[in-house]
Amino acid sequence: MIERYTRPEMARIWSEENKIATWLRVEVLVCEAWGQEGAIPPDAVERIKGVALDLGRMHEIELEAHHDVISFLRMLQEQLGPEGRFIHLGLTSSDVLDTALAIQIREAGTALTQALDVLLVDTERLAVQHKDTLMVGRTHGIHAEPLTFGMKVLLWVDEMRRARTRLDAALDELAVGAISGAVGTHATVPPAIEEYVCAQLHLTPAPISNQIISRDRHAQFMTTLALVGGVLEQMALELRHMQRTEVSEAFEPFGAGQQGSSAMPHKRNPELTERVCGLVRVLRGYAVTALESMALWHERDISHSSAERIIIPDGTTLLHYLLWLMHTIIAGLEVNPYRMRDNLDMTRGLIYSQRVLLALVDAGMGRQEAYKLVQRNAQKVWRGENDNASFLAFLQSDPDVTAVLPPDQLAALADPAYYTRYVAVPYARLGLLDEAGK
């Protein structure tokens, strides 16, 4: 991942230094296990445990060998001399690579869950703060009925909590190691070695592996990253709409010295939320690549390997960056409740059409007759008849309506509080407030 979208803690996890150090950690543990089996002398095990990495020498060897694991092993064996023969005893490359990858993914997963938890707290706080902030709900981009901004944000809270659960489950599926040798038969490395190594690394031995750990686990993880990203995209897309000039209900942070356009000094573009939407597309692409990496020839090929060197480090790095970017947006969000109220009233009462419809039905009118009657008056508002009179005014002057509902009863129907009287219920269900809204 390019530096622009990489945070330091994730860069460390996926650095070459950390990757090779993790390979060495696995190799040393294998030697310890062989030592307990009596296959490696104790003094040789101690010497192996003290070996140092020389990445420069490893790279020199790789220019000749064209194989990173062989270059790694030769670099260690050069340092160890005779004891070097015990390194990689009975193993195949994927024993080291897949087990080490599980460790790095766990480290990356810890960073991801921490970032998601921070964002979740931000979003819960915003939802509670705006529990009663009235705004118009929109379906198909068209004004529908009143709700509160807090309810909109609370839906994001619920989605993020499910995202957190999915991420935990995907990380659990990948917390496995495999030290099973060529094609996974354990012929050259007994199961006891695998069990020891995995126990030391806090991994579970894969119940069965061939020469690699099955890639459905990795595909689940990568699709989970895309799903988490999809929640962020939903949030960002909504906020992009709310920042439109015609809407102006909420704005992402915009610094005092920030500039929105190279040509137009007045512009305050939603560049942060647009960035979220753009980068989540990359995450989805990585998920497709992971799904395509599940099907491999026989006991393994390496068509998955080159792709995973990109998609797993870059996918975790990118989502980590997006989670912290979304934290910046939500923590610094500027909400304009006055504009929300103006927009609520923009259609001059059309948002109360369903309530009028139901009142007519309750009074004994047939539903289709009532629907057409309400729609007839709504169309007058859309057309701007009678100097932009309100929906309520048209209804109160329509004898077919007032024959069923008197003007004062119609006026009482135009009350947004009717639509928010149960707003505390979802907050209570999500454990943020009780049903009294406290």
Residue found by looking up tokens 């010497």 in the block: 47
**pTM exceeds 0.75, yes or no:** yes
Q: Which long-range contacts (CB under 8 A, 24 or more apart) does 332-336 make?
A: 332/252, 332/253, 333/126, 333/239, 333/250, 333/251, 333/252, 333/253, 334/250, 334/251, 334/252, 334/253, 335/130, 335/133, 335/149, 335/249, 335/250, 336/248, 336/249, 336/250, 336/251
pLDDT at 437 over 70: no
pLDDT in tens, 412-429: 999 999 999 999 999 999
**Equal CATH topology for 102-175+210-256+265-347 and 350-413:** no
pLDDT in tens, 230-264: 999 999 999 999 999 999 999 999 776 776 666 77
Positive/negative CA dihedral, 370, 382, 150, 237: positive
Contact present, 48 and 39 (Cβ < 8 Å): no
Catalytic residue among 140, 262, 266, 298: 140
Verify whether residue 261 is a known catalytic residue: yes
Verify whether residue 209 is a known catalytic residue: no
* Residue 438 pLDDT class (50, 70, 90 cuts): confident
Please state at what angle helix 93-129 crosses helix 216-242, rounded to 10 degrees: 30
Tell me what the pLDDT averaged over the chain comes to.
Answer: 94
pLDDT at 261: 67
pLDDT at 260: 67
Give the residue-averaged pLDDT of 287-305. 93
pLDDT at 256: 67
Give the residue-averaged pLDDT of 114-123. 98
pLDDT at 428: 94
Catalytic residue among 67, 202, 261, 303: 261
Domain with residues 350-413, CATH architecture: Orthogonal Bundle (1.10)
pLDDT at 258: 73
Domain boundaries, the chain: 102-175+210-256+265-347, 350-413
Among 68-77, 251-260, 351-360, which stretch is predicted with the lowest mean pLDDT?
Answer: 251-260
pLDDT at 26: 98
Find the largest Cα–Cα distance for the chain.
Answer: 104
Domain with residues 102-175+210-256+265-347, CATH architecture: Up-down Bundle (1.20)
CA separation for the pair 30, 34 (Å, rounded): 6
Give the residue-averaged pLDDT of 213-224. 96
